[in-house]
């Protein structure tokens, strides 16, 4: 058998060496390496040899197979490239490779979804500057200079009177200053604070919403936010309003939704309380109306503000906010 194999190797390599067109090459391949080819039939006989000879014969057959394959590839390169005939080996029946398709970032998806929900309720979408005057970010929202409420937001200053906006509430003042009631507006956008850990990044996204008209009540605020939560997290989602403080709303409330992961039973995500805080809200403070020239005796309104990252983390079950901005394709590809 050893002799047969060596003989076969010699013949095959010789044939490959003198072959000079693709169809001849293919014939050689079939003759020696094909399913019914000579090498294959010899290899089938290995099993009939005495047990002690089998390993050596098998090993030799494999070496010869790989030598012939290598010879085949060399001959193919020589013939195809030599003749400049790549097409001879182009198999047009193979399935194509699908190009990588781009898609929207998870935060963009959540921004779109939330804006659509509020737009359906009649809110107009506006955008505003990220580099903002202290006046719009703080002063006219009833945060006087040196007011302790400013400490809640670790502000990045551009200069003494110019900041990177710490929240989208600046849009309340900008829009009310420019328009007369009635109005209902949402303002999505980037905001900045000097903060970084698993639940904070120096840049994040907020949605501000506000509505001003005659006879607006806290009930209107509750109804609007309840409708939002039901559309975003499911119809039965319970809401809880907790008294809070913001300089630009009075009264103010922080709003929790029933934990979307445990349904309110208590789990790690909701710190076993059954509730998740999602936003700040309240009735617009008369002081803010005075800054923009509205008569607080005639008009009333509500406002709310929430973070898109927080909503996206709850919606998709993400426990580290930094993932949104690391640009790791293994994370981003999942949306
Ligand atoms: N601007 C607040 C913040 O970033 C959030 C907020 C609270 C916005 C209450 C509101 C509001 O419009 O009424 O912490």
Residue 60 lies in a domain: yes
Average pLDDT over residues 163-170: 98
* 305 pocket-lining for ligand 1 (C-beta < 6 Å): yes
Query: Per the domain annotation, does 175 fall within a domain?
Result: no
In a domain, 117, yes or no: yes
Residues 61 and 118 in one domain: no
Q: Which pLDDT value is given to residue 168?
A: 98
DSSP codes, 48-95: GS-GGGHHHHHHHHHHHHHHHHHHHHHHHHHHHHHHT-GGGG--TTSP
Lowest mean pLDDT, pick from 23-27, 102-106, 119-123 = 23-27
Q: What is the CATH number of the domain that holds 305?
A: 3.30.930.10
Give kind and range of the element (H or E) at residue 42. Answer: helix 38-45
Distance (angstroms) between ligand 1 centre and the Cα of 303 equals 8
Res. 34: pLDDT tops 90: no
Report pLDDT for 223.
98
Protein residue closest via CA to atom 13 of ligand 1: 281
For residues 211 and 249, is the Cβ–Cβ distance under 8 A? no
Q: Are residues 68 and 115 in the same domain?
A: no
Nearest atom in ligand 1 to 206's CA: 4
Render pLDDT for 265-307 as a digit per residue (tens, 0 to 9).
999 889 999 999 999 999 999 999 999 999 999 999 999 999 9
pLDDT in the model for residue 64: 87
CA end-to-end distance (rounded Å), the chain? 60
Residue whose entry in the numeric block shows the structure tokens 């990588």: 100
* Helix extents (H) in 207-246: 218-233
Instruction: State pTM to two decimals.
Output: 0.74
The alpha carbon of 169 and the centre of ligand 1 are apart by a number of angstroms equal to 6
Classify residue 99: in a domain, yes or no. Answer: no
Is ligand 1 within 6 A of the CB of residue 301?
no
Q: Do 57 and 115 have their domain in common?
A: no
Q: What is the pLDDT of residues 210-262, one digit of tens each?
A: 999 999 999 999 999 999 999 999 999 999 999 999 999 999 999 999 999 89
Separation of alpha carbons 197 and 208, rounded Å:
23
Residue pLDDT, tens place only, 47-68: 888 888 888 888 888 888 888 8
Using CA atoms, how far apart are residues 23 and 202, in angstroms rounded to an integer? 66
Residue of minimum CA distance from atom 7 in ligand 1: 280
* Local structure of residue 271 (DSSP, 8 states): T
User: 113 and 20 in one domain?
Assistant: no
For residue 280 and ligand 1, the question of a CB distance below 6 A is answered with yes
Structure confidence by residue, pLDDT tens digits, 172-215? 999 999 999 999 999 999 999 999 998 899 999 999 999 999 99
Order of strands, sheet of 162-164, starting from the edge strand that comes earlier in the sequence:
131-133, 162-164, 157-159
One domain for residues 254 and 191? yes
CA distances to 99, 174, 209 from 140, in Å? 51, 10, 17
Using a pLDDT cut of 70, give the percent of the chain over it.
97
Pocket test for ligand 1, best of 285, 305, 307, 311 (most atoms within 8 A of CB): 305
Q: Is the peptide bond before 182 cis (omega within 30 degrees of 0)?
A: yes
pLDDT digits 0-9 by tens, 68-79 = 888 888 888 777
Predicted confidence band of residue 86 (pLDDT cuts 50, 70, 90): low
Burial class (CB in 10 A: 0-12, 13-18, 19+), 309: buried
Token representation of residue 302: 């509500």
- Angle made by CA atoms 247, 269, 328, in degrees to the nearest 5: 95
- How does pLDDT run across 111-148, given as a tens digit for each residue? 999 999 999 999 999 999 999 999 999 999 999 998 98
Mean pLDDT over 1-10 rounds to 84
pLDDT at 82: 65
Q: Let me know whether 119 and 203 are in one domain.
A: yes
Average pLDDT of the chain to the nearest whole number: 92
* Whole-Å CA distances, 167 to 38, 200, 244, 275, 308: 78, 14, 17, 24, 12
* Number of structural domains in the chain: 2
Take residue 54 and report the two structure tokens written for it: 């089998």
Looking at the structure, do residues 210 and 281 belong to the same domain, yes or no? yes
Closest CA to 280 of 305, 307, 301: 305
Does residue 147 belong to any structural domain of this protein?
no
Q: What is the pLDDT of residue 83?
A: 60
Residue count (the chain): 335
pLDDT given for residue 155 in this prediction: 95
Q: Would you say residue 39 has pLDDT above 90?
A: no
pLDDT at 85: 55
Confidence of residue 37 (pLDDT cuts 50, 70, 90): confident
The secondary structure element, H or E, covering residue 256 is strand 249-258
Q: What is the mean pLDDT of residues 161-177?
A: 97
Q: Do residues 9 and 38 share a domain?
A: yes
Q: Is the pLDDT of residue 84 over 60?
A: no
At 29 the three-state DSSP class reads helix
- Which is the closest atom of ligand 1 to the Cα of 169? 1
Note down the domain range covering 26. 2-88
The mean pLDDT value for 18-29 works out to 84
Nearest Cα neighbor of 303 from 220, 197, 204 is 220
The predicted pLDDT at position 111 comes to 98
> Do 313 and 261 form a contact (C-beta atoms < 8 A)?
no
186 and 321 in a single domain? The answer is yes
């Amino acid at each position: 058998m050893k002799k047969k194999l060596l003989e076969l190797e010699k013949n095959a390599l010789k044939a490959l060496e003198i072959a000079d067109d693709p169809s001849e090459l293919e014939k050689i391949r079939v003759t020696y390496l094909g399913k019914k080819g000579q090498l294959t039939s010899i290899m089938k006989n290995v099993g009939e040899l005495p047990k002690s000879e089998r390993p050596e014969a098998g090993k030799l057959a494999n070496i010869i197979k790989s030598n012939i394959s290598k010879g085949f590839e060399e001959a193919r390169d020589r013939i195809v490239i030599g003749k400049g005939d790549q097409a001879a080996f182009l198999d047009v029946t193979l399935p194509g490779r699908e190009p990588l398709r781009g898609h929207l970032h998870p935060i963009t998806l959540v921004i779109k979804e939330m804006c659509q929900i509020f737009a359906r309720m009649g809110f107009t979408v506006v955008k505003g500057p990220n580099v903002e005057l202290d006046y719009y970010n703080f002063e006219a929202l009833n945060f006087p200079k040196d007011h302790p409420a400013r400490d809640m937001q670790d502000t990045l200053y551009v200069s003494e009177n110019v900041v990177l906006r710490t929240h989208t509430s600046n849009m309340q003042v900008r829009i009310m200053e420019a328009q007369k009631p009635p109005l209902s507006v949402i303002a999505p956008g980037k905001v900045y604070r000097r903060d970084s850990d698993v639940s904070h990044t120096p840049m994040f996204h907020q949605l501000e919403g506000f509505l001003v008209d005659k006879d607006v009540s806290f009930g209107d605020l509750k109804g609007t936010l309840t409708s939002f939560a039901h559309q975003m997290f499911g119809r039965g989602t319970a809401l809880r309003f907790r008294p809070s403080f913001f300089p630009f709303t009075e009264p103010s409330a922080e709003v929790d939704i029933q934990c979307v992961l445990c349904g309110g039973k208590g789990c790690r995500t909701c710190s076993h309380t059954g509730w998740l805080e999602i936003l700040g809200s309240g009735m617009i403070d008369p002081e803010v109306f005075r800054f923009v020239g509205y008569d607080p005796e005639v008009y009333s309104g509500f406002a709310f503000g929430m973070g898109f990252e927080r909503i996206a983390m709850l919606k998709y079950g993400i426990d580290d906010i930094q993932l949104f901005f690391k640009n790791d394709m293994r994370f981003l590809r999942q949306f």
